[in-house]
Structure 1
Amino acid sequence: MTNLQSAYFINVNFFAEKILNLVRPVLGKEFAKFEIYGTNPA
């Protein structure tokens, strides 16, 4: 993943969004490049 500029997760369900946001800081700087967009509950 050294060539990866950013990664997008689009339309992620609520559970997956929370899990990804929790583990993102733990997994290091490579995972800080992730952009997570969940469903809009409103």
Structure 2
Amino acid sequence: MQAVLALVFGIFIVGMVGFSHASTIHNAAHDVRHSAGFPCH
């Protein structure tokens, strides 16, 4: 159950932060996303 919740939470975070157009959120997570290989542009 914990693994499922962690997976759902992770997908939610990546989806919301990764595709957010708010500059504050985007800039705060920009380097982390690129280092993890997650494109944001």
Give the TM-score of the pair, scaled to structure 2: 0.34
Bigger helix fraction: 2
Specify which structure has the higher proportion of strand: 1
The structure showing larger relative contact order (alpha-carbon pairs under 8 Å, at least 6 residues apart) is 1
